[in-house]
Amino acid sequence: MKSFHSMFVIAAAAAVLFGYVALEAVDTSVNFDKAFDFKPVKTWAWDRTEPGVVRMARTQYDNPEEMQQKADPWIRDEMAKAMKARGLTEASGSLAPDLTAKYYMLLTLNVETQTVGQFLPAPVVAWGLPPLMAPATQSDKVLNRGSMVLDFSAKGNVVWRGVAQSHLAPDAGAKKREERVREAIRDLVKRFPPK
């Protein structure tokens, strides 16, 4: 009996850890113009008019400009490293790049709740739960949700778009936020150029 209890505790801990690790992952998706030839692309540069945009929809106290001042250096630094690793050179000065890059960082809240009996079909609820039991919240989950959209354009037309999405606990520190932003950029650039 004791070994069964120990195995149960280990299995439960593993399930919680696996769920936490899965929650920590960055999901990416990519779309591109199939008619555009990426083979001759050798240089890139940030959009000169507006390299990035931050939009926030979490609280009334959100300050997108402040967030952009924090995140922009992380994004630019990680992008330069990742693109160099892919064999692309950042164009400088008046030279026209093959592609221009622009990012959009979108920050929102994700709220999930579950109530007792929520997943039971209607007839089961009538006999499966104690009578006169009022619906009660079983679990609440509030997380920051972030999306990083990265566009590459040629001659004013978007030819490649990558989207990275992730969740982060509201109490995550600045170091964890920076790591997540950098991870999103790395994961997106790994998928550029399309094969």
CA separation for the pair 43, 63 (Å, rounded):
33
Residue 7 clears pLDDT 60, i.e. is over it: no
Residue 29 clears pLDDT 90, i.e. is over it: yes
Query: What's the pLDDT score for residue 121?
Result: 59
Query: What's the pLDDT score for residue 125?
Result: 53
Query: What's the pLDDT score for residue 1?
Result: 47
Q: Find the mean pLDDT for residues 21-48.
A: 88
pLDDT in tens, 64-109: 899 889 999 999 999 999 999 999 999 988 889 999 999 999 888 6
Residue 8 clears pLDDT 50, i.e. is over it: no
Mapping DSSP to helix (H, G, I), strand (E, B) and coil, where does residue 38 land? Answer: coil
**Chain-centroid distance, C-alpha 163:** 7
Query: What's the pLDDT score for residue 64?
Result: 83
Q: Which of 66, 12, 53 is nearest to 147 (CA)?
A: 53
**φ and ψ at 149, to 5 degrees?**
-105, 130
Query: What's the pLDDT score for residue 183?
Result: 96
170 in Cβ contact with 144 (< 8 Å)? yes
Query: What's the pLDDT score for residue 23?
Result: 42
DSSP secondary structure code for residue 26 in this structure: P
pLDDT in tens, 118-149: 555 555 555 555 555 556 656 655 556 788 99
pTM exceeds 0.85 for this model: no
CA separation for the pair 193, 86 (Å, rounded):
9
| Beta carbons within 8 Å of 28's beta carbon, 6+ residues apart | 162, 163, 164, 165, 184, 187, 188, 191
Lowest mean pLDDT among 18-32, 63-77, 116-130, 156-170: 116-130
Query: What's the pLDDT score for residue 69?
Result: 92
Percent of the chain exceeding pLDDT 70 equals 68
CA separation for the pair 161, 103 (Å, rounded):
10
**φ and ψ at 129, to 5 degrees?**
-120, 150
| Tokens 């006999």 -> residue | 127
CA angle 56, 79, 99 (to 5 degrees): 100
Query: What's the pLDDT score for residue 140?
Result: 57
Q: What is the mean pLDDT of the chain?
A: 79
Both tokens of 130, joined, read 């104690």
Domains of the chain: 27-189 (3.30.160)
192 in Cβ contact with 41 (< 8 Å)? no
**φ and ψ at 52, to 5 degrees?**
-160, 160
Does 172 or 83 have the greater pLDDT score? 83
Query: What's the pLDDT score for residue 175?
Result: 92
